[in-house]
Structures are given as C-alpha cells and as structure tokens.
Amino acid sequence: MTTAYQNLGEFIQALRQAGELLEIKAPVSTHLEITQITDLASKSPGGGKALLFRNVQDSRFPVLTNAFGSDRRICLALGVPSLDALAGRLQKFVQMEPPKSLSDTFRLLPMGMDILNIIPRKLKRKAPCQEVVYRGNQVDLSRLPVLTCWPQDGGPFITLPVVITRSLTTARRNAGMYRMQVFDDQTTGMHWHIHKDGSHYYQEYLKARQRMPVAVAIGTDPATTYAATAPLPRGLDEIAFAGFIRRKPVPMVRCLTVDLEVPAEAEFVLEGYVEPNELRIEGPFGDHTGYYSLVDKYPVFHVTALTHRRSAVYHATVVGRPPMEDCYLAKASERIFLPLLKTVMPEIADFWMPWEGVFHNVTVIAINKEYPGHARRVMSAIWGQGQMSFCKIAVLVDADVDLSRPDQVFSTILNELDVETDLYITEGVLDVLDHSAPEPMFGGKLGIDATRRVAGERPRHAPEYPASEPSPDDIERAVKEVSNLFTAAYAPGLQTHNRILLLNFHKDGRATGRQLAGKLLTHPDLAAFSIILLCDDGIDLKNSSHVLWKAFNNVDPKRDIVKKNRRVVIDASKKGREDDHHRPWPDDIVMDQEVVEGVKKRASELGIEEFLPH
C-alpha cells in the first residue's frame, strides 16, 4: 500500500485504480443535489464509493465527496492494510524503551525514521497550492463550489477545511477542522467550539486585543486531512502527526499575506484573519448528529488571499444522520488512539463508539477488571480524560467481550445489568452539540456497569419476570390503559435477563414521559419488561439503529431516566416546556422531497442506480 500520497490527486488516482471511485459527468448542483447523491452512496452497503463530480454547475472545479467513507477507503487513505496496523505503530512509538546495548540500538532505527518524518519541511520549489493567486479585492469565494448541504442550512459551508492557527503565547501550531459558513465573497464564519485548540488560541488573541492570522487549506493529502480531525492532546502538532502517518514529512510553504505556513500540496488555500470581538450569526447547519445544530454567534474570518492549483479539485464532506463518511474518520480515531488511552488507563483492553452515538454520546469500554468498584473508577477516569470527558454515556464490559460484535455487546449488557445497582447517574460537561440537556454543554451523564461481579461486590438481582411475555394484543391493551398517547408498542423478543419494550409516544403537551413512567412501571401486564423506552410517534420501532440513535441523542440521563423496583423507563422523545426543557430542540435533518425525487429520476444519467434503496 502507498504510505504517503503527495497530494489529493494521487489519492484520487489510487481510488480510481482500486475501483473505489465513481466519476459523475452529468451536471449537478452544489445546492442540495450533491448532498443527496452523496447521502445515497454513504448509506448504501459498505459505504458505496467515493464520488468525483466532474460537471458542477456554476463552477469550473470538480468536487470530491465520500472519499473516506468505507473501511477499505479509510485504510487506503492512510496507507495501511488495517487501522490496527497504524495503531500498532503508534503503540510502539509511545512505549519506546531506551536501548540496553549498542546492538540493541538497531531496534530503534525504524523509530528514528518516524521521528524524522514528523518534522514538516519547507518546500524549496514553487508551491502547487500557489499556482493561481488572488489577493485583496480579487478574492471571490463564489469561485469555489461550496456545498449547501441541507434544506435548513444557513448557507453554503466549507466542510473539510484544515484550519491553521498559531498560539500567541507558545507559538505552537494547530491544524483543526472547523466548519466555515460562507457569508459573502470575502468572509466566512469560524466555528470554533470552546474545547478546540483553535478556540483556545483565539482566546489568547482576544485577551491581547490583537488580530489573529488564520490560514485554511482545502484538499490536502489524506493523512493531513485526517490528522486535522484527530483528537490529539492539546498542543501536539497535527501536521507532525500527519508526517508520522505518511512516513514522510508534510511539505509546507509560507503564506503570501499572513505569517503562517500551509501544506504546499493543497488544492486551495484561504489566507486571512479574525478580528477580536467580531462575531456574526452562524448556522443552522445539518450536523453529524443527524440534527441541525443551533444558530449562535461565532468569529468572522476575513479572506485576504485565495490561492489554488491550476487544476484544483474541491474536497468536501457531507454529514448528517449516520452512517456517513465521518463515521469512518471517527472509527480511525477509535482504533488509532486506543494505545494512547491504554497508556493512561492500562486496564482498558478495547473501546467502541457506536455510530448511533455520533461519537460523543456513548462509549463502550472493555476492561480487565481487577477489584471491587474498578468499573466505576474507569467511568470517572474517562469523564476526566481530554475529549473523552464529553462522553455522555459510558458502558463498561469485561475484556472478553468482543466489541466488534454489537449483538454480543448488547446481549452482555442486557444479561448482566441490574437496573437498581448498575446505572450510575451523575452530571458533567457535554459536547456543545448535545441538545438533550436542559443547559448548554452541561447535563446528566450515565455510567452502565455490565462487568461481571468480583469478590467484594454485592451480588446482582436478576429481574423477577412472569413466566412468559404478554401477547402483542395484551401489550397494546395495557399501554392504552396507561395512556392513549402511546400509539404503538414493540417487544423485540430478546432472550436476555432484561427484557425491553419500545413505545411510540405521541406528545401533545398533556403529559410527559416522567409523568407516565410510574403508571408504566406499576401496570401488572407490563411487569415482564424491566426496560421501557419511549420514542416519538412515527419512529420505526423495529429499526434498531434508528431507535438507538434516538435514545443516545434525545436522553438527558438525570431528567429522562425513571427507576423503580429494579425496572426503568427511559424517555427518548423530543422535549419541550412541559418537560422543563426551555432550549430550542433541533429538527431532524431531512432532505427536500423534490430533490430526492429529482435525483431518483436522474439515477441512470448520474450512474448511481446501485445506490438507490431497494
């Protein structure tokens, strides 16, 4: 496998040779249409193919999407046979021991090369990213085929930018990925979340009342693009990490109008600055959670120069309800950074972030349990560990549980769980995109201990069920006796100690899930179920992925979980004022039906028949 693509063009050629690229020559629009086509590919079996749109309306530049959107393509992008192979390299690097003898020094030679490769080098020839240059009033962002992805988006967004900044106090570089809404021909938003390095550096300039130089590279080599998304510890250079992945230094070039360096082989570069205290309304944006992130004020990026290759390709990603391309980028981080997590907590054997949890909402952690309360200790440690601190639900299982088999994971949880003793509810910091908590960025957290008991821990109590589950008709009658607001019921029929009942809940302001929970838990004909989950009306209760997505995203553990007599009701419905939730609740991302039908009619012309749902 190629270990270092010099640029995006080389990666596109590798995709083509591997049969992983679909080139679409029919005309397409950046307004919703490319998104719909990409979404169909992303959600087709195996992630479809990378898409190269050759004929983009109102732009001379092709658009590449879904380039990382499969297990095979993410490995191809990073030049490895498997993500675990790259994780193994990183583990050896992190755990490197000093040589014990002269002959033992040869053992470290490969590590020495890795160290040399992480040091970016300055390009000595003319940079490809500066073959075409526009400065000052010549800058016109409408030249770029920036996508308007979803119907309620506040405008077009640059979705795959490598945003380069430098600390005012330490001079350390950050290369992060922050979406950028195009406001006009020469300004964009700069969506810095408070926990990101770019935001920390912005705060330094804000305190000093100084203009902050910023550069943005679009369409870098795949290792550099991935590195900008990686959850590195604060202060570590993403460009250096890209060099480690590539096994080759990233060539850099000085910008023309700001004192920063950018990847010399990028397709496009935006140079400019952010003024302290200048904020503008940004959003909404159809985000990777599957919901629209809310409107808020963010810094403004002023573009002083736009440069690009003569034959540039605009690289974009589309995010929304999983699975989509970003799921595979997150999977890469999950695998690659396991060794770093294990250096802090050696008892961790593995971890898994289900796609339905949209990366920050749930993490399943397999541990080598050694003593009473060990699982609870790991929960607390995870919630205090870097970006893992934003995890809302931490699930602990034993090391012999295969996290690559979701069925085994969920069976283990449902068989081991004692609702009374194994659900640990607390409060803490949350991701800014979590909409379920009553307050922004702070709310309930849930720890689930599904590890086996060891000596010194109190024994679990298995649920005391009736001999058999009630029939579907009896279930429907029982839930109707509780409330006519329950419109459908489904019992998955899992052969586990804890049985689950799923209910559609038609909320009209008359009652909340919490108010009805007690009646559900005391109705004698529902005693067969120890876990009752409420979903909004219209949710397909037999679609387990959709139900889990709603459960992980719509639940604030402190408010929405009601326990009684070793049974629990979990309210995963949309919340409003009757639930004492006074923040706006975002809409699900749904494409305009006219666009859906238009793409469907053009499927043959576009060459995407294989992606259409059967």
- Burial class, 274, CB count within 10 angstroms (exposed 0-12 / middle 13-18 / buried 19+): buried
Q: Which among 368, 352, 451, 348 is positioned nearest to 406, based on CA atoms?
A: 352
Q: Which residues contact 426 (CB under 8 A, 6 or more apart)?
A: 383, 444, 445, 447
What radius of gyration, in Å, describes the C-alpha atoms of the chain?
A: 25
Question: Would you say how long the chain is, in residues?
Answer: 614
- Burial class, 577, CB count within 10 angstroms (exposed 0-12 / middle 13-18 / buried 19+): exposed
Alpha helices, DSSP H only, in 278-324?
none
Element (H, E) at 561: strand 561-564
Tokens, residue 578: 């009757």
Tokens, residue 200: 């920390």
Catalytic, 287? Answer yes
Contacts 24+ apart (CB under 8 A), 474-482: 474/525, 475/501, 475/525, 475/526, 477/525, 478/523, 478/525, 478/526, 479/503, 479/520, 479/523, 479/526, 481/523, 482/516, 482/519, 482/520, 482/523, 482/526
Angle between helices 71-78 and 222-229 (to 10 degrees): 110
Angle between helices 513-522 and 472-482 (to 10 degrees): 130
How far from chain centre, in Å, is Cα 578? 31
Q: Which residues contact 65 (CB under 8 A, 6 or more apart)?
A: 34, 38, 41, 50, 51, 53, 316, 317, 318, 325
Element (H, E) at 38: helix 33-42
Q: Do 448 and 394 contact (CB within 8 A), yes or no? A: yes
Q: Do 291 and 586 contact (CB within 8 A), yes or no? A: yes
- Identity of the residue numbered 171: A
Say which residue the tokens 């679609």 belong to: 543
What are the C-alpha distances in Å from 196 to residues 85, 306, 344?
A: 28, 25, 21
Most distant CA atoms of the chain, gap in Å = 80
What are the C-alpha distances in Å from 597 to residues 37, 363, 592?
A: 11, 37, 9
Q: Which among 184, 178, 179 is positioned nearest to 142, based on CA atoms?
A: 184
Residue of 39, 153, 287, 556 marked catalytic: 287
Q: How many Å apart are CA 123 and CA 321, to the nearest integer? A: 40
Q: Do 398 and 451 contact (CB within 8 A), yes or no? A: yes
Which residues are designated catalytic? 287
